[in-house]
Amino acid sequence: MRFRTWLFAALAGVVPLSTALSQGAWPDLQRLQDTVGVILDAGVKDSAFPGAIAVIGTKDRVLVERAAGHLDWAPSPAPNDSTLWDMASLTKVTALTTAMMQLWERGQVDLDAPVQRYLPEFQGPLKDRVTVRHLLTHSSGLPGWRPLYQEAPTPDSILKLVYTTPLDTAPGTRMVYSDLGAILLGQIVVRLTGEPFDRYVEERIVQPLSMRDTRFRPPRELWDRVAPTEVDTAWRKRQMRGEVHDENTYALGGVSSHAGLFSSARDMARFARMLLGGGELDGVRIVKSETIAKFTALQNAKLSNRALGWEKPNGRNSAGHRLSPTAFGHTGFTGTSIWIDPANDVFIVLLTNRVNPTRARTGIFRVRTDLADAVMARRRR
């Protein structure tokens, strides 16, 4: 149906006006779906991943959903919108950053307060200068990673190592993407709410949004729906399926604020629609629109392209080259990504298991940018 016909239908009450306007911005959805399919099929052919699903939509609806390949390189089902994917670092934005937004709204956390106010165990040289904002922008001075799973035998002893890890640089002087900083932020959520991190996420984010597939530690009866990830030859001696890929999260019991969440395409579409809708979906408000604007604004362009928890387009990352400056997104090591562009009312979710069978595969980087650019090229300006 042509845009003018849709608009007249909307004004006459036949279809919602928002739907008509969305159709006007996306005049040829079949062509968009075909383009997405070409990109994903090429990714499978090039061995970037065994399977993938992409969802593109607006605040009102899903525009295109396209899957490719299979869950594994061995004979296996094709992905669909209920396939469970190891979200890896999308845990940081879906669960952790949203939780921090909620705590900030309620006045429970001060972004510019020292981390030691909430975690007194966080001790060492210059650590009294590290703020919550530093953790959210990955500018705390902490190193990016350490093999905690090899260094400590229990979750409690792992957390002690995180608290005592020395800073590499002075706070606020350099951006180093840090899982350790994200773990600390999760512990702040735990301290301020008195709840385990996974329970807080379930009660305050997942259940209200009716994200029925999203969870930590999926039960074994759901493993047939899970896309398997890496064949771990070094430590666990098996292929990961239904168990978190990230070694440090696994050693923490499968629940952490830096990784560990499993989700589906349909759930991530709901999460993205909530953010495009100013923090509300289907009459349920998760956060205020002002809070989203605050947390997704670029913090220090001289230092990095980081917002609070989120990443911003910079022409070199997975956002591609066509998203607006209002866009924000994130990637996950296993091959997941999400980009949300309020100015263009569009979200792009890509879920893959690119680490299957090995993390050495790097074809996902090209697929992400090709997808973002192709989607925006099909949008009517």
What is the residue-averaged pLDDT of the chain?
94
Predicted confidence (pLDDT) per residue in 123-153, tens digit? 999 999 999 999 999 999 999 999 999 999 9
Looking at the whole model, is its pTM more than 0.85? yes
174 CB-contact burial (10 Å; exposed 0-12 / middle 13-18 / buried 19+):
middle
Residue 363, Cα to own-chain centre: how many angstroms?
19
Q: Which domains does the chain have, with CATH numbers?
A: 28-377 (3.40.710.10)
Identity of the residue numbered 376: M
Pick from 10-24, 34-48, 252-266: least confident: 10-24
Predicted confidence (pLDDT) per residue in 215-256, tens digit? 999 999 999 999 999 999 999 999 999 999 999 999 999 999
pLDDT bucket at 169, cuts 50 / 70 / 90 = very high
Distance CA 322, CA 337 (A): 16
User: What integer is the mean pLDDT of 24-37?
Assistant: 95
The region, left, alpha or beta by phi > 0 then psi within -120 to 50, assigned to residue 217 is: left
